[in-house]
Amino acid sequence: MGDKADWSDFFLKHLIDVCKGEIEAGNRPQGLWTSTGWKNIVAKFEAKTGDKRTKIQLKNKLDNLKKEYVWFMELKNYATGLGWDAAKGTVDCPQDWWDEHLARCNNREKGLKCNHVRFRKQGPKYLDDLDLIFGKVHVTGATAACPGDISSDESDDCVAEVPKPPPKDDVKLADLKQKGKRKRKSSCTIAESKEEKSPFYRMYKNTCLKIESAADRISSASATSASPTNVVPTIGEAMKMVEECGVEEGTPLMHTATML
């Protein structure tokens, strides 16, 4: 059997169930499948379906499912405030909304059609299960492709959870800024290697620039202040500055700002 395989609902559901079981068993820590996890996925899929498929075949299907999930979640973000069609499992958008959205989303220069249009009549199958498997991909936006880009070949292997930092109210702004620059450098190095077309990436980058600019202004004011004490803002004051930049509570950007 080659690397390509036909996927009916029967095989698809069993693959999803096997992956969910391995996640619950702890075989995908930090968003990365372990060697044991992959070994079990291959073996359990064969045991449940009676069909022996290679790791490459199963991984290719998971990669395609992830792409479709990210595209669908992009559509939901664009259609915020509109209705939901439970029977079709997709957003309920009027014709004029689609006309306007597709005019922006289609890439005529490359001859590519908007990936969102495939969900106009029907959403992805087993969406709740896909939320469990790929939810952090959408939250971080690290592997989200441009709506008109169908060339993304990212793997779920590169998805990692962001650890929550312990609170330290006595951290000075100078240390906060220095650590932030180091972390931004490592994260931006990865992001810049991709096409800078993702709306999530642009929003992340613009917010980082706002935070850095505000930090520079506070640092300058602190350096010229006549008061010898209490010239460096506390963590609470720094986080207030982040909120003033437009970062909302509970969003991935707020987690990033907290890390910085």
Radius of gyration, CA atoms only, the chain? 22
| Chain mean position to CA 189 | 17
Domain count, the chain: 1
Q: Is residue 153 part of a domain?
A: no
1: domain range? 1-53
Q: Is residue 80 part of a domain?
A: no
Q: Is residue 176 part of a domain?
A: no
Show Cβ contacts of residue 67 under 8 Å, excluding neighbours closer than 6 positions.
145, 152
Q: Is residue 126 classed as helix, strand or coil in its secondary structure? A: coil
Q: Is residue 241 part of a domain?
A: no
Q: How far is Cα 246 from Cα 253, in angstroms, rounded to an integer? A: 10
pLDDT (tens digit, 0 to 9) for every residue of the chain, 260 residues total? 445 678 999 999 999 999 999 999 999 988 889 999 999 999 999 999 999 999 999 999 999 999 999 999 999 998 888 899 999 999 999 999 999 999 888 887 877 889 998 998 999 999 999 999 998 765 444 444 333 333 333 444 443 333 444 444 444 455 555 555 555 544 445 545 554 556 666 666 777 777 777 777 776 665 655 554 555 667 777 777 777 777 777 676 776 777 66
Residue entry with tokens 């880009």: 149
Q: Is residue 147 part of a domain?
A: no
pLDDT tens digits, one per residue of 45-80:
999 999 999 999 999 999 999 999 999 999 999 888
Q: Is residue 25 part of a domain?
A: yes
Q: Is residue 40 part of a domain?
A: yes
Q: Is residue 257 part of a domain?
A: no
Nearest to 64 by CA among 128, 115, 2, 18: 115
- Name the E strands within the chain: 83-85, 90-92
